[in-house]
Structure formats: C-alpha cells, structure tokens
Amino acid sequence: MIRIAAITACPTGVAHTMMAAEALKKTGRSLGYEITVETQGSAGAKNVLSPQAIANADVIILAADIRVDPARFGEKPIYETRTSEAIRNTESVIKAALALVNSATQTETTPVHTAAVAPEPVQAPVHQATGAKKLVGVTSCPTGIAHTFMAAEALQKAARALGHSIKVETRGSVGAQNALTDEEIAEADAVVIAADTKVDTERFAGKPVYTTSTKQAMHHGQDVITAALVLPVGQTGSSAPTAHYADSVKQAKSAQSQGRTGPYKHLMTGVSYMLPIVVAGGLSIALAFAIGGIQEGAYPEGSLAAALMQIGGGTAFGLFVAVLSGFIAYSIADRPGLAPGLIGGMLAQSLGAGFLGGIVSGFLAGYLTKFLAENIKLPANLEGLKPVLILPFLSTITVGLLMIYVIAPPVQVVLNTMTDWLNGMQSANAIVLGLILGAMMAFDMGGPINKAAYTFAVALLTSQVYGPMAAVMAAGMTPPLGLALAGFLFPNRFADEEREARGPALVLGISFITEGAIPFAAKDPFRVIPSLMAGSAVAAALSMLWQVELLVPHGGIFALLIPNAVTNLFLYLLAIIIGAFVTVAALFVLKRPIGATSQVAGQPKPVTSV
C-alpha cells in the first residue's frame, strides 16, 4: 500500500488548515492509500508526523499558505500546493504527488521536489551553485537605521561579485523601502533574510529561505548568498560546496539560529517597536522645555508647552513600557502573546515597576502563552477559539495577577534603589559608570552589548534620570568621528576604500550612528576596536563627571540644536571632541602605515605623507 505523509498550514491555522487536512485524509483513504496529516497554525502543530511515519512515506504533500520547513523530510519526494487546491481538487493533488514517486522510480535519480499552485505536477528548478540566479532579500535591525541598510548594500555587492542579482527590501525605522513585489518573489531562486528582529516569512511560502543576522550579511555576504542558493528545496544542486565550507555554513547557521530564538532576539524585537515611541516622546518633552522653560510645577493649562508635555511625558512615556513588553511577548508567542504582554507592561508602569517590570512581564507573557498553546488540546472545531479567546484571556489573567501580587513590588524596590543611586552618584562612581557604558557602546558597534547599554539609558528616561543617556550618545558618536578624523590626519594608515569612507563616517558620527565604524573595525579589529573603546569610555566618563543631562534618546548633533534638550552643552561637546581625539591618538599608535606593511610583504606601495 502506498503511504502518504502530509502537512497542511494557513496563516491562522484554523479553517483552511483543518479543511485541507480532512479533504486529504478522506480522499486518500477512498483511493486506497494510507495517509497521515499534520496540521500547523497559530496554536502550534497538531498530529505531528513522527520520524517513523516520514520514513515509511512514499511521498510528502505540503498543502500550505505559509512556509513549511522541508528539511526533516530529507530526500523524500515533496509535492507543494495551496490549501485551497487541496480542498477543491484533492484527488488531482494526490495523483500529482504520486506521479513524483513514479517519476523518481523510472529515472532512478534523487527525489524531486515540486512546487505548485495548481494540481498539475511541475518539477521545481534545482538550485545550482553556478550560473546567474535571481534572489530577493529582507534586512532589518532593532533601530532600523545603519545595520539595515549596510546589510542590504553588502548583500547587493556580494551578489554582483558572484554574478547573481538580488533585490533587497529594507525594514527601517520609517517602514519598508524598496518593497518586494509578488512577481519578484515568484521569480526568485532563493530568499535571504538578514535580520536581528522578527520578520514574517509567510509571503515566501515554497521558496528556499536562508535566515541570518545583519552582522553576518555585512561581514560574510558572499557566504550568505552561496548558502542561500545551495539550500535544499527537495534536493541539492550537483555543484555542492566543499566539506570545509559546508561545515562553516552549518556552524554559522546553528549559531545564528540560537541567537534568533534566544532571549536577546525577543528583547531586541521589543526594543525596535519601543524606540520610535521613546524618540517621539523625548523630542516632545524637549520642545516643551524649549517653549515653556524648565520649571518645577506644571505648565499653564491650555498652553502649547503643556500640550507637548502631555504628548511626550504623559502619553508616549506612559506607553512605551507596554509596547516593549507587548512585542517581547509577540516575538516569543506570536499574536496570542501580544494582549497579555501589553497589559502586563501597562501594569508594570502603573505599579511603579518601570522598564524592568516591563521586560519581566514581556518574557513571562510570551513564554506562558507559548506553553499554553502547546499544551491545551481542543477538538478541531474549537481550535479557532485558542488564539483569539482562550490563550489571551488565560495569559492575561495569570500575568496580571503575578505582576500585582508577586513581581511588581520587589521590582519597584530595585528600580527605586537604582534610580536613587544614579541620582546621588558622586564623581568617582559617575566616572566608573561612564567608563563602563562608553566601552560597551564601542565594543560591538550596534551589537548586543551596544544595544544593552543604549536600552539601559533609554529606559532610565522614564525615571527622569538623564545622565546615562548623555554618556551613551557621546560614546556612540565618538567611534565614527575618531576614525574619520584619523583618516584625514594620517591617511597612510588606511586603505583606499577606507579613505573614501571618511566623509560618510563623519556624517554618521555626528548623527549618532555608531555602526559607521564597522567597515573600519572589520578590516583590523584588534587595533581599531580597542582604540574605539578607549575614546568612547573617555567621552562617556567626562559626560558623567560634568553632570551633563540629555532629554532625547537619539538624533546626535541635531538633537542638541533643540533648546534645553541638553544641559552643559559646551562641556558635552568638549567631552565628545576629547573622546574622538583619544581614539585618533590610539589609532596612530596601534595602526602601522600600509606602505610599511606592504614592503614587508614584498609588495612596495607608495606611502602618502602624514
């Protein structure tokens, strides 16, 4: 007897998923075949196919409107179609899938993976490592500024170098740009997702999708493109990569997979949604101070300053903890986690637990909702109640009660203690904190450690602690500024492409985009990164020592143009300048002239005078 294993899936995981499953089971059995169906949806997978069922299957049917990973099916013949086809033309779908078994038997080749939206069997193209290919990609990072666009540019450059073409959609702070069309996705041979936040891959259903980080795309663009093109869609191309490269790709994918599913990824997803609210709120408060001045009491009712303060301090800053919590939960448990996460964050804010409570409530809501989704079993006709009623309600009640009675009180004590300590810091403690925050900002330039320092400073704005924000922004501006100045002052220590990047680095530096230093650091990390850390640590320490306070969380030099946005403005600018020249001095000492290096290697090059 012929055995068939199938998976049905749709975005909601309710109606079409169940209807397609029932149609396949009923029709398959009426035709005399043994068929097992796994369903996937918003509440998780049901009737999961066992390894034994997959091993015994003669063919796999994927009736899905979202992407289903085919890796576990190995070399089994795979036929792909939509749930609507499986519902309306079930018998044709099954016969088309069985045709693959006959085709594979007659040609005595490796199994074929066919993708279709109609019931006619059409063999999908095999991805080779040679020949011009079309790719599409999406890049995204938590702030949606530098890493997003730098990763896109790196992928485009890598694809051109390999003889391929790629169109990259950027998910930035102002929304999606260079958006991919349905036609471009349909024509693509592979999809690359280079993202540090959650990206919905539903529209890429049936395509090979290679997921990595923006950092990997920037530093190893050609490896990412190659890995995407050799990604199996049912079988691999004959031009397989070497064993050494395959091991490297496997290790990189494993490391990126752990990073994508870990707590850091969920936290950064929350931060990426929170940042626009914090920036808008901070600028509104700064404008209120600029118009009405800084005063102890409230502004006169009805005045413009009072309205701006209500927008920024009363609303935006009252909302961002809830958004942080809600989207941490969303990253973990998808849509069912959003409601308990938002409500838990609002409770954290109203109970005085602040951003620390919001982080706790976000993770609690996300993992609790995910646990309930995986363990609550309901009849098929009631599955639709889980994502819209049962999961949000149970999670919200549980998270809310835990926040009120268990979590918020001790977290409030911790937050108040930390706030009092930061407000009452003496010079020595302020310098130490500045050195730590500054070094963190320059260590990985937009990576996890940098984002941890920045998130810490942004979160303190709600507690009216403004010193760390000033220190962090100064430390983030210093690396690109120092590198740009060094490139102008002693260009013989930099390659041609680095000298060309001096101007852009200068602009990125004054805009508080630390990632502008990455191209320099990537070429010579052991000399450049310590130099950057030294300059940033000095700038942040001086900012803390001189008690500079900054009310806005982003904008660089442009935010400083707002009256009253920063205190001790002259000293703040001096701290940034001193930090930048510390970086310049360290680079002068640590980096050798390129001409001297080339002569040692037997390749003399003309040396530009300092």
4, two tokens: 């068939």
Catalytic residue among 93, 141, 268, 560: 141
Q: Among residues 60, 61, 101, 96, which one has the least CA distance to residue 82?
A: 61
How far apart (Å, rounded) are the C-alpha atoms in residues 392 and 397? 8
**Collapsed DSSP state (helix, strand, coil) of residue 50:** coil
- The answer to whether residue 10 is catalytic is no
Provide the 10 A C-beta neighbour count for residue 400.
17
Q: Where is 334: in which H helix or E strand?
A: none
How far apart (Å, rounded) are the C-alpha atoms in residues 591 and 600? 15
75, two tokens: 């070399």
How far apart (Å, rounded) are the C-alpha atoms in residues 122 and 92? 13
Q: Is 318:290 a contact under the CB 8 Å cutoff?
A: no
How many whole angstroms from its chain centre is CA 261? 11
Q: Is 186:551 a contact under the CB 8 Å cutoff?
A: no
How far apart (Å, rounded) are the C-alpha atoms in residues 414 and 346? 18
Alpha-carbon dihedral sign for residues 513, 517, 519, 525: negative
Q: Among residues 96, 44, 27, 40, which one has the least CA distance to residue 67?
A: 40
Provide the 10 A C-beta neighbour count for residue 593.
17
What is the per-residue burial (b if ≥16 Cβ within 10 Å, else e) of 79-95? bbbbbebbbebbebbbe
List, in order, residues 6 or more apart from 330 with CB less than 8 Å away.
Answer: 198, 269, 337, 338, 341, 366
CA gyration radius, the chain: 28
577, two tokens: 């300048």
Catalogue the active-site residues.
Answer: 141
